[in-house]
Structure 1
């Protein structure tokens, strides 16, 4: 039920691990995980291996991350999504906005 971050030693890649339900309750922790990093990492990974559910606020948070990271030029990977989470990402067309693996 948490948001855990890991920054590579060179500061180039930030990994955000989501556990449990990815919903509005994680909004503050998710935004704080990337907003104030200086310098801004060049790539981001949102590890969804332990995420059980995404709601519309989670999709909005992913869009905010995308905007923060550079919009269309952003290097963001959504990794290790379960079949249910992948289905939500596919239905919402996030597979066109993010690298989903």
Structure 2
């Protein structure tokens, strides 16, 4: 598992790519990626293209990211999720909290 970040040239968008399993073992790496960005970006994109597995702790990590980014005012897109991951997000009603594509 790895977590990679990319900040846009204008600093307004942070992209976080998760490769492999998105579970509790990635908690600290995931947190370090977004907490280390200053100033806070206007938008965060979580790219799950190479995510093979996601558990309930990953859902909790997404909620912590949302809180850090501004709660209800945060703009977070979850992109490139597999059909299995998309089902998990839908069952958890995360489509109400995140822009899922």
Query: TM-score with structure 2 length normalisation?
Result: 0.97
RMSD between superposed Cα atoms in Å: 0.7
Structure 2 unmatched ranges of 5 or more: none
Structure 1 unmatched ranges of 5 or more: none
Q: Deviations over 1:29-54 (max 9, x none)?
A: 10000113211111000000011111
CA–CA separation in structure 2 for the residues paired with 1:35 and 1:77: 17
Correspondence for 1:76: 76
Give the 4+ runs in structure 1 shifted more than 3 A: none
CA–CA separation in structure 1 for the residues paired with 2:89 and 2:38: 29
Query: TM-score with structure 1 length normalisation?
Result: 0.97
CA–CA separation in structure 1 for the residues paired with 2:68 and 2:38: 13
What is the number of residues matched between the two proteins? 101
